[in-house]
Structure 1
């Protein structure tokens, strides 16, 4: 019996088949705890990820272009909190977490603030999730938090001043066909001068109107009206762009800067005013008022400079300023310091009359104030008369029209701010060029701002 017991005891001591179960039992507790922790943390990570996505959607959506906050910022005259933006951010956050369960939201803090020309949106949150396995080691809940920040640039406010040359030279027929037609009706003259000394209906101006002959001023009038439609469609806020329209005067008797339309955000009214742009009337050849010197750049530019207030940073209370200058670029005025001496063998010395390319220093004074100048140089087909051949043609080398050798074109380009010079011939679109200048100005303002 004793021998049998000793044998059984030795076999039991040597038997290792139960060790796996014992070891497994001992290992189960930390293993289960580790797996449980991973499950709890995974759940917490998924919840936080979804809450963060909701915060991202809220911060971005609260300052989207069509959002209440973005729209409200446009009417704010000072920096500060945008209340409707805060409410909108809260609503967007709640909508994006509506189907999310298994957690407790402790707080959500949206802020939407206008600062200068930017809108900053921040959405922060804190939450907790109850654990299942971490409670075994005394961790009954996990805390989580997140923040999302977004920034949007507000459209900049811009004031546009249109300075339109309506001097008699802008009465030239607009296209080669128009020139031919007008010359046929007038006995050879391609200028539709608005001569009020003639019997009603007999001036070249009246003849052009009666025969549907388009002059350069007609094209400028339509282009200016079209520009208002472009501005209307481009603005984000109803008062983002303001327009003013000036010309050189209704008649030679009252020549000088004339305000056709005062600076206003009513682009519809500006379009109506643009429809009234017309050629300057003169009181006959060598009229008593100006003796045909009807393009006085040296008085027009200081006057428009005084009319334009100092530019700002592009806010609603301090808009940027752009001057749109549309002209054929040739001065005709009493000016003893003219760039070109008025002497010709066929005509003699007629100083102090100045008939020459625009002096770019007139534009420099305006540009030095931070005002951008966009220049639309309207070249025209040369009329076949001795005055043009003797006084204007010498300003240009070779064929009239877009040419690097044209002194008129060079001076007009020097007048413009860099990148804001357009030159169009009669067969090209003045309206398209003016719209292109406007779009370029808006894009430039956005980059500069």
Structure 2
């Protein structure tokens, strides 16, 4: 009995062969665990490939010029964009057709227009075959994923440029240009013995009596004509004057604005995401405001082609108050007429969502001095003492949802002021400090700009345009 008990004890204490026994017990679950990791890794790789395809399909569905984007752009109301869904489905199918080991791939794709956005959602589920996990009864694994993409639809905007071409815009664009003109201008020498710095004096017959001139001019005012040749009669007269300080011309403020408008047209043309996204019109004013070049989406023409808005912009200075244009009238700067007229011209205020539902912006470009005098045929009436714009004139348009963007071109103090015209020079110089505040109140919040030099005017107009794009996007 004792021998048997000892034998049993030795057996219990003997550990030889236990490692093999334990390995045999654990090897099967260990293999299954390693196999599961392999299967999971493969499933994750497949899911990543499917997710990449979903991301790409969503982005493609809302990309500019895609069928979905174009269809959404043409829709008048929000809703499902079938063309976008079909396009995304084909795209997703093409990208996933080469992914091996996938069964029961089920995509759910929707593309919708939602206000100013087109949005795509791509969801998918699929089964991935397993190898090692099949031992435990799991022959497939289910993977899923989703992706969302969106893009801003183009905003259709109308830009109404209110362009001041009254007499004060006939001042040279810089102090140096004023000095140049004063040195050669014979006009009104009796009143301006140090040289008149206005180039816009009336050019009609007997507009400037010889008795008032520095030398005989045949009864004509010469300021504007001389600004086109820089005072050198043998030069070929120029029509546009885009650069100050050249021998070809003396740049006037109206020239600087005209050149800046040309650059704005270029910016708008290159910025447009779709055809006809922007329309621009030129609306000069003196006594009256009129459509010098009405709203057009054809903004990429040549400045040498007389039928284009680009040419009209380049030759803006030709509209300066010379007492010859009955449509504009003559004699002052009449905001009290210009603003109500512009409010009438803008017949509708849309959201910018389509080419037939445009959102309007008014760009007021001015030196901000209002003058209520009127002249025609040599007869003058009204008060020629300059004042600032009445902010209430701007309210009617702003209340309709029209954004007013103001570019203030500071009224440079008149050099060599005299008491000519009932002290009008001194009145103008006196109100200059009050002009910016009045124009700021006229402008929509965040839309007041100032430009001092010709280069600044160009930069400011482009900044106004970009600010309009940002504002339109936020509002809508």
| Distance in 2, Cα, partners of 1:380 & 1:209 | 22
Match of 2:276 among 231, 239, 247: 239
Q: Sort the Cα spacing of 1:298 and 1:27 in 2 relative to 1 into closer, same or farther, 3 A.
A: same
Alpha-carbon offset, residue 308 of structure 1: 1.6
Task: Please show how residues 76-87 of structure 1 align to structure 2 within 5 Å.
Answer: 76-83=75-82, 85-87=84-86
Deviates more, 1:235-244 or 1:167-176: 167-176
Shift, 1:324, TM fit: 0.6
Work out which of the residue numbers 230, 233, 237 in structure 1 matches 2:267. Answer: 230
Q: Is the 8 A contact 1:196 1:203 kept in 2?
A: no
Classify 1:386/1:291 alpha carbon distance in 2 versus 1 (closer, same or farther; 3 Å): farther
- What is the CA distance between 1:309 and its match in structure 2? 3.3
Q: Partner of 1:259: helix, strand, or coil?
A: coil
Map of 2:451 onto structure 1: 424
User: 1:395-447: CA deviations, max 9, x gaps?
Assistant: 6569x6xxxxx112221222222222222335653222222222222233333
Q: Does 1:327 align with 2:369?
A: no
Matching residue of 1:357: 388
Moved more, 219-228 or 89-98: 89-98
Identify which of 257, 276, 290 aligns with 2:289: 257
Q: Which residue of 2 aligns with 1:219?
A: 256
Give distance in 1, aligned partners of 2:299 and 2:329: 37
Partners of 1:443 and 1:291 lie apart in 2 by 36
Tell me, yes or no, if the aligned pair for 2:288 and 2:329 is still in contact at 8 Å: no
1:190 aligns with 2:203: no
User: Which consecutive residues of structure 2, in runs of 5 or more, have no partner in the other structure?
Assistant: 190-194, 207-217, 231-248, 301-307, 375-380
Matched with 2:213 is none
- Aligned pair partner of 2:351 in 303, 306, 313: 313
Q: Which residue of 2 aligns with 1:391?
A: 424
**Offset of 1:84 from its aligned partner?**
5.1
**8 Å Cα contact 1:357-1:395 kept in structure 2:** no
**Hey, what does 1:127 align to over in structure 2?**
126
Q: Structure 1 CA distance, aligned partners of 2:326 and 2:143?
A: 86
TM-score by length of 1: 0.81
d(CA) in 2 for partners of 1:390 and 1:300?
26
What is the root-mean-square deviation of aligned Cα atoms in Å? 3.5
Match of residue 53 from structure 2: 54
Higher mean Cα deviation, 127-136 or 207-216? Answer: 207-216
State the aligned residue count.
421
**Within 5 A, what are the aligned runs for 1:41-440?**
41-65=40-64, 67=66, 69-83=68-82, 85-90=84-89, 92-94=91-93, 96-97=95-96, 99-183=98-182, 184-186=184-186, 187=189, 188-192=195-199, 193-198=201-206, 202-211=221-230, 212-248=249-285, 255-268=287-300, 269-277=308-316, 278-283=318-323, 293-316=331-354, 317-333=356-372, 355-381=386-412, 382-384=414-416, 385-387=418-420, 390-394=423-427, 406-426=433-453, 429-440=456-467
- Structure 1 residues 14 and 362: alpha-carbon distance in aligned structure 2, compared to 1, 3 A threshold: closer
Deviates more, 1:297-306 or 1:360-369: 360-369
Is contact 1:195-1:281 (8 Å) kept? no
Name the structure 2 match of 1:403.
none
Change (3 A) 1:389 1:410: farther
Aligned to 1:343: none
After superposition, the Cα gap between the structure-2 partners of 1:291 and 1:392, relative to the gap in structure 1 and judged at 3 Å, is: farther
TM superposition shift of 1:361: 1.4
Q: Is the 8 A contact 1:170 1:279 kept in 2?
A: no
How much has 1:88 moved relative to structure 2?
A: 4.5
- 1:232 Cα deviation (Å)? 0.8
Change (3 A) 1:243 1:190: same
Deviations for 1:268-288, whole angstroms, at most 9, x for unmatched residues? 34323323423344449xx99
Question: 1:215 and 1:303 mapped to 2: Cα distance?
Answer: 26
Tell me, in whole angstroms, the C-alpha distance in 2 between the residues paired with 1:279 and 1:364. Answer: 28
Residue aligned with 2:386, SS: strand
Stretches of structure 1 lacking an aligned partner (at least 5 in a row)? 250-254, 336-349, 401-405
Q: TM-score, normalised by structure 2?
A: 0.77
- The 1:203–1:130 alpha-carbon spacing in structure 2 relative to 1, beyond 3 Å, is same
Q: Deviations over 1:113-141 (max 9, x none)?
A: 22221010111222111222222232221
Question: Helix, strand or coil: the match of 1:110?
Answer: strand
Deviations, residues 47-81 of structure 1 (Å, cap 9, x unaligned)? 11221122122212332346554355444444344
